[in-house]
Amino acid sequence: MAFHSKKQEYLNKAVEYFKKAAEVDEHHYPSYLGLAWSILERHHYSEIHEEDIIQAINLFNKVLEHLPNSADAYSGLASAQKELGEHELALGNAIKASQLRPYDVGYQARVGFTYQQMANYEVGNGDYLEAEKLYNLATPYFSKAVEINPKHFTGWLGLGWNSYFKGNFEEAETYFRNAIRVNPLYFNSYEGLGRVYYKLKNYEKSIVMYKKALELVPTEYIIHDGLGWSYLKNNDLSNALNSFQNALTGHEEYPMSYFGIAYIYYKQTNLKASDAMIRRA
Protein backbone atom coordinates (compact mmCIF):
# COMPACT_ATOMS: atom_id res chain seq x y z
CA MET A 1 0.00 0.00 0.00
CA ALA A 2 2.96 2.34 0.66
CA PHE A 3 4.03 1.78 -2.96
CA HIS A 4 0.56 2.70 -4.23
CA SER A 5 0.38 5.92 -2.20
CA LYS A 6 3.87 6.90 -3.36
CA LYS A 7 2.95 6.20 -7.01
CA GLN A 8 -0.21 8.27 -6.61
CA GLU A 9 1.87 11.11 -5.16
CA TYR A 10 4.25 11.00 -8.14
CA LEU A 11 1.36 10.93 -10.62
CA ASN A 12 -0.25 13.96 -8.96
CA LYS A 13 3.05 15.80 -9.33
CA ALA A 14 3.28 14.70 -12.97
CA VAL A 15 -0.19 16.14 -13.65
CA GLU A 16 0.89 19.40 -12.04
CA TYR A 17 4.11 19.72 -14.09
CA PHE A 18 2.53 18.73 -17.41
CA LYS A 19 -0.19 21.35 -16.83
CA LYS A 20 2.46 24.00 -16.22
CA ALA A 21 4.39 22.94 -19.32
CA ALA A 22 1.24 23.22 -21.46
CA GLU A 23 0.55 26.68 -20.03
CA VAL A 24 4.07 27.86 -20.88
CA ASP A 25 3.83 26.56 -24.47
CA GLU A 26 0.34 25.73 -25.66
CA HIS A 27 1.80 24.17 -28.83
CA HIS A 28 4.00 21.69 -26.96
CA TYR A 29 1.82 18.65 -27.62
CA PRO A 30 3.96 16.11 -25.74
CA SER A 31 2.89 18.02 -22.60
CA TYR A 32 -0.77 17.36 -23.40
CA LEU A 33 0.06 13.73 -24.07
CA GLY A 34 1.88 13.37 -20.74
CA LEU A 35 -0.93 15.13 -18.90
CA ALA A 36 -3.59 12.85 -20.41
CA TRP A 37 -1.65 9.69 -19.60
CA SER A 38 -0.94 10.85 -16.03
CA ILE A 39 -4.65 11.52 -15.44
CA LEU A 40 -5.51 8.05 -16.71
CA GLU A 41 -2.72 6.28 -14.83
CA ARG A 42 -4.00 7.70 -11.52
CA HIS A 43 -7.06 5.45 -11.97
CA HIS A 44 -5.02 2.48 -10.76
CA TYR A 45 -4.12 4.18 -7.48
CA SER A 46 -7.10 6.39 -6.64
CA GLU A 47 -10.72 6.94 -7.54
CA ILE A 48 -11.19 8.34 -11.02
CA HIS A 49 -14.26 10.30 -12.13
CA GLU A 50 -15.90 10.27 -15.53
CA GLU A 51 -15.01 13.91 -16.08
CA ASP A 52 -11.32 13.02 -15.65
CA ILE A 53 -11.59 10.37 -18.39
CA ILE A 54 -13.39 12.82 -20.69
CA GLN A 55 -10.66 15.38 -20.01
CA ALA A 56 -8.03 12.79 -20.98
CA ILE A 57 -9.95 11.94 -24.18
CA ASN A 58 -10.12 15.62 -25.12
CA LEU A 59 -6.37 15.97 -24.57
CA PHE A 60 -5.57 12.89 -26.69
CA ASN A 61 -7.80 14.24 -29.48
CA LYS A 62 -6.05 17.62 -29.25
CA VAL A 63 -2.72 15.87 -29.78
CA LEU A 64 -4.09 13.91 -32.78
CA GLU A 65 -5.31 17.11 -34.45
CA HIS A 66 -1.68 18.18 -34.74
CA LEU A 67 0.15 14.83 -34.60
CA PRO A 68 -2.16 12.48 -36.55
CA ASN A 69 0.35 9.59 -36.46
CA SER A 70 0.83 9.59 -32.69
CA ALA A 71 0.54 5.96 -31.64
CA ASP A 72 0.70 7.07 -28.00
CA ALA A 73 -2.39 9.25 -28.46
CA TYR A 74 -4.37 6.48 -30.17
CA SER A 75 -3.35 4.06 -27.42
CA GLY A 76 -4.36 6.56 -24.77
CA LEU A 77 -7.74 7.07 -26.42
CA ALA A 78 -8.23 3.30 -26.39
CA SER A 79 -7.44 3.09 -22.67
CA ALA A 80 -9.77 5.99 -21.83
CA GLN A 81 -12.61 4.64 -23.96
CA LYS A 82 -12.29 1.24 -22.28
CA GLU A 83 -12.82 2.99 -18.92
CA LEU A 84 -16.09 4.38 -20.29
CA GLY A 85 -17.16 0.98 -21.62
CA GLU A 86 -16.85 2.13 -25.25
CA HIS A 87 -15.21 -1.11 -26.33
CA GLU A 88 -15.70 -0.84 -30.10
CA LEU A 89 -14.13 2.64 -30.20
CA ALA A 90 -11.35 1.47 -27.89
CA LEU A 91 -10.61 -1.49 -30.12
CA GLY A 92 -10.40 0.66 -33.25
CA ASN A 93 -7.93 3.04 -31.66
CA ALA A 94 -5.87 0.25 -30.09
CA ILE A 95 -5.55 -1.38 -33.53
CA LYS A 96 -4.48 1.97 -35.07
CA ALA A 97 -1.74 2.29 -32.45
CA SER A 98 -0.56 -1.27 -33.08
CA GLN A 99 -0.43 -0.62 -36.83
CA LEU A 100 1.59 2.56 -36.37
CA ARG A 101 4.06 0.69 -34.17
CA PRO A 102 3.89 -2.96 -35.23
CA TYR A 103 6.95 -3.95 -33.19
CA ASP A 104 5.87 -2.27 -29.95
CA VAL A 105 4.89 -5.16 -27.68
CA GLY A 106 2.77 -2.96 -25.43
CA TYR A 107 0.53 -1.88 -28.28
CA GLN A 108 0.13 -5.46 -29.52
CA ALA A 109 -0.84 -6.63 -26.03
CA ARG A 110 -3.28 -3.74 -25.59
CA VAL A 111 -5.27 -4.88 -28.64
CA GLY A 112 -5.33 -8.38 -27.14
CA PHE A 113 -6.60 -7.13 -23.79
CA THR A 114 -9.29 -5.04 -25.51
CA TYR A 115 -10.59 -8.10 -27.36
CA GLN A 116 -10.37 -10.05 -24.10
CA GLN A 117 -12.41 -7.48 -22.19
CA MET A 118 -15.05 -7.50 -24.93
CA ALA A 119 -15.14 -11.30 -24.73
CA ASN A 120 -15.63 -11.19 -20.95
CA TYR A 121 -18.53 -8.79 -21.48
CA GLU A 122 -20.16 -11.27 -23.89
CA VAL A 123 -19.70 -14.07 -21.34
CA GLY A 124 -21.61 -11.91 -18.87
CA ASN A 125 -24.38 -11.59 -21.46
CA GLY A 126 -24.43 -15.36 -22.01
CA ASP A 127 -23.17 -15.17 -25.61
CA TYR A 128 -20.43 -17.79 -25.36
CA LEU A 129 -19.99 -18.22 -29.12
CA GLU A 130 -19.26 -14.51 -29.59
CA ALA A 131 -16.96 -14.59 -26.55
CA GLU A 132 -14.96 -17.50 -27.97
CA LYS A 133 -14.58 -15.64 -31.28
CA LEU A 134 -13.24 -12.58 -29.46
CA TYR A 135 -10.84 -14.66 -27.33
CA ASN A 136 -9.52 -16.21 -30.54
CA LEU A 137 -9.02 -12.74 -32.05
CA ALA A 138 -7.04 -11.69 -28.96
CA THR A 139 -4.60 -14.61 -29.07
CA PRO A 140 -2.49 -13.53 -32.11
CA TYR A 141 -1.80 -10.13 -30.53
CA PHE A 142 -0.57 -11.67 -27.28
CA SER A 143 1.45 -14.23 -29.23
CA LYS A 144 3.04 -11.50 -31.34
CA ALA A 145 3.96 -9.56 -28.19
CA VAL A 146 5.88 -12.48 -26.66
CA GLU A 147 7.38 -13.39 -30.03
CA ILE A 148 8.83 -9.87 -30.33
CA ASN A 149 9.96 -9.90 -26.72
CA PRO A 150 9.79 -13.18 -24.72
CA LYS A 151 10.34 -11.13 -21.55
CA HIS A 152 7.17 -9.11 -22.04
CA PHE A 153 5.23 -10.50 -19.09
CA THR A 154 1.86 -8.92 -19.91
CA GLY A 155 1.85 -10.84 -23.19
CA TRP A 156 2.24 -14.09 -21.25
CA LEU A 157 -0.36 -12.87 -18.78
CA GLY A 158 -2.83 -12.18 -21.60
CA LEU A 159 -2.23 -15.64 -23.08
CA GLY A 160 -2.77 -17.13 -19.61
CA TRP A 161 -6.11 -15.42 -19.05
CA ASN A 162 -7.20 -16.19 -22.60
CA SER A 163 -6.52 -19.90 -22.07
CA TYR A 164 -8.17 -19.82 -18.65
CA PHE A 165 -11.35 -18.20 -19.97
CA LYS A 166 -11.50 -20.77 -22.79
CA GLY A 167 -11.16 -23.63 -20.28
CA ASN A 168 -7.63 -24.67 -21.32
CA PHE A 169 -6.34 -24.80 -17.75
CA GLU A 170 -3.07 -26.73 -18.25
CA GLU A 171 -2.12 -24.33 -21.04
CA ALA A 172 -3.06 -21.37 -18.85
CA GLU A 173 -0.81 -22.72 -16.08
CA THR A 174 2.19 -22.70 -18.45
CA TYR A 175 1.52 -19.13 -19.57
CA PHE A 176 1.01 -17.79 -16.03
CA ARG A 177 4.24 -19.46 -14.93
CA ASN A 178 6.04 -17.81 -17.86
CA ALA A 179 4.65 -14.46 -16.72
CA ILE A 180 5.93 -15.09 -13.16
CA ARG A 181 9.34 -16.17 -14.47
CA VAL A 182 9.65 -12.82 -16.27
CA ASN A 183 8.10 -10.69 -13.51
CA PRO A 184 7.65 -12.40 -10.12
CA LEU A 185 6.27 -9.25 -8.49
CA TYR A 186 2.93 -8.93 -10.29
CA PHE A 187 -0.04 -10.27 -8.33
CA ASN A 188 -2.32 -11.05 -11.27
CA SER A 189 -0.21 -14.00 -12.45
CA TYR A 190 -0.47 -15.66 -9.02
CA GLU A 191 -4.20 -14.94 -8.95
CA GLY A 192 -4.47 -16.62 -12.34
CA LEU A 193 -2.68 -19.71 -11.06
CA GLY A 194 -4.94 -19.71 -8.00
CA ARG A 195 -7.96 -19.85 -10.29
CA VAL A 196 -6.36 -22.49 -12.54
CA TYR A 197 -5.58 -24.82 -9.63
CA TYR A 198 -9.09 -24.30 -8.25
CA LYS A 199 -10.54 -25.43 -11.57
CA LEU A 200 -8.15 -28.40 -11.58
CA LYS A 201 -9.36 -29.22 -8.03
CA ASN A 202 -5.85 -28.85 -6.61
CA TYR A 203 -7.07 -26.70 -3.74
CA GLU A 204 -3.83 -26.75 -1.73
CA LYS A 205 -1.87 -25.30 -4.66
CA SER A 206 -4.68 -22.81 -5.25
CA ILE A 207 -4.38 -21.61 -1.64
CA VAL A 208 -0.61 -21.18 -1.98
CA MET A 209 -1.00 -19.06 -5.14
CA TYR A 210 -3.77 -16.86 -3.74
CA LYS A 211 -1.68 -16.24 -0.62
CA LYS A 212 1.30 -15.23 -2.77
CA ALA A 213 -0.93 -12.79 -4.64
CA LEU A 214 -2.13 -11.31 -1.33
CA GLU A 215 1.46 -10.76 -0.22
CA LEU A 216 1.67 -8.29 -3.11
CA VAL A 217 -1.84 -6.75 -2.80
CA PRO A 218 -3.12 -7.47 0.73
CA THR A 219 -6.47 -5.70 0.32
CA GLU A 220 -7.60 -7.10 -3.06
CA TYR A 221 -11.07 -8.39 -2.19
CA ILE A 222 -11.49 -10.62 -5.27
CA ILE A 223 -8.39 -12.58 -4.25
CA HIS A 224 -9.58 -12.90 -0.63
CA ASP A 225 -12.84 -14.29 -2.02
CA GLY A 226 -11.01 -16.77 -4.27
CA LEU A 227 -8.88 -17.86 -1.33
CA GLY A 228 -12.05 -18.35 0.72
CA TRP A 229 -13.54 -20.72 -1.85
CA SER A 230 -10.29 -22.69 -2.06
CA TYR A 231 -10.22 -23.06 1.74
CA LEU A 232 -13.87 -24.09 1.64
CA LYS A 233 -13.22 -26.80 -0.96
CA ASN A 234 -10.28 -27.94 1.20
CA ASN A 235 -12.67 -28.25 4.19
CA ASP A 236 -10.89 -25.52 6.17
CA LEU A 237 -14.01 -23.68 7.31
CA SER A 238 -12.27 -21.39 9.78
CA ASN A 239 -9.83 -19.93 7.26
CA ALA A 240 -12.56 -19.85 4.62
CA LEU A 241 -14.77 -17.73 6.87
CA ASN A 242 -11.87 -15.40 7.67
CA SER A 243 -11.08 -14.97 3.96
CA PHE A 244 -14.68 -14.20 3.02
CA GLN A 245 -14.89 -11.65 5.84
CA ASN A 246 -11.67 -10.04 4.59
CA ALA A 247 -13.18 -9.87 1.10
CA LEU A 248 -16.22 -8.03 2.46
CA THR A 249 -14.13 -5.47 4.36
CA GLY A 250 -14.75 -2.30 2.41
CA HIS A 251 -16.72 -4.24 -0.24
CA GLU A 252 -19.92 -5.12 1.60
CA GLU A 253 -21.84 -5.23 -1.69
CA TYR A 254 -19.87 -8.20 -3.09
CA PRO A 255 -22.36 -11.12 -3.26
CA MET A 256 -20.07 -14.13 -3.77
CA SER A 257 -18.50 -13.88 -0.33
CA TYR A 258 -21.93 -13.83 1.31
CA PHE A 259 -22.78 -17.05 -0.53
CA GLY A 260 -19.51 -18.54 0.74
CA ILE A 261 -20.32 -17.59 4.33
CA ALA A 262 -23.87 -18.88 3.89
CA TYR A 263 -22.50 -22.26 2.79
CA ILE A 264 -20.19 -22.40 5.82
CA TYR A 265 -23.10 -21.75 8.17
CA TYR A 266 -25.16 -24.35 6.30
CA LYS A 267 -22.42 -26.95 6.82
CA GLN A 268 -22.40 -26.01 10.50
CA THR A 269 -26.22 -26.52 10.52
CA ASN A 270 -26.76 -22.87 11.47
CA LEU A 271 -29.62 -22.49 8.99
CA LYS A 272 -30.88 -19.17 10.33
CA ALA A 273 -27.45 -17.52 9.90
CA SER A 274 -27.08 -19.16 6.49
CA ASP A 275 -30.42 -17.76 5.32
CA ALA A 276 -29.44 -14.29 6.59
CA MET A 277 -26.25 -14.34 4.48
CA ILE A 278 -28.16 -15.42 1.37
CA ARG A 279 -30.56 -12.55 1.89
CA ARG A 280 -27.66 -10.10 2.16
CA ALA A 281 -26.21 -11.41 -1.09
Q: Percent helix, strand and coil across the chain, each rounded to 5? A: 80, 0, 20
pLDDT of residue 222: 96
Asked if 125 and 135 count as a contact pair (C-beta separation under 8 A), the reply is: no
Tell me the pTM. 0.84
pLDDT at 4 > cutoff 80? no
How far apart are alpha carbons 203 and 193 in whole angstroms? Answer: 11
Q: What is the pLDDT of residues 91-148, one digit of tens each?
A: 999 999 999 999 999 999 999 999 999 999 999 999 999 999 999 999 999 999 999 9
Per cent of the chain over pLDDT 90 is 76
Helix (H, G, I), strand (E, B) or coil at 249: coil
Q: What is the pLDDT of residues 30-64, one digit of tens each?
A: 888 888 888 887 765 556 578 888 889 999 999 99
- The strand ranges marked E within the chain are none
Asked if 137 and 156 count as a contact pair (C-beta separation under 8 A), the reply is: no
Asked if 260 and 225 count as a contact pair (C-beta separation under 8 A), the reply is: yes
Q: How many CA atoms lie within 13 A of 63 on its CB side?
A: 25
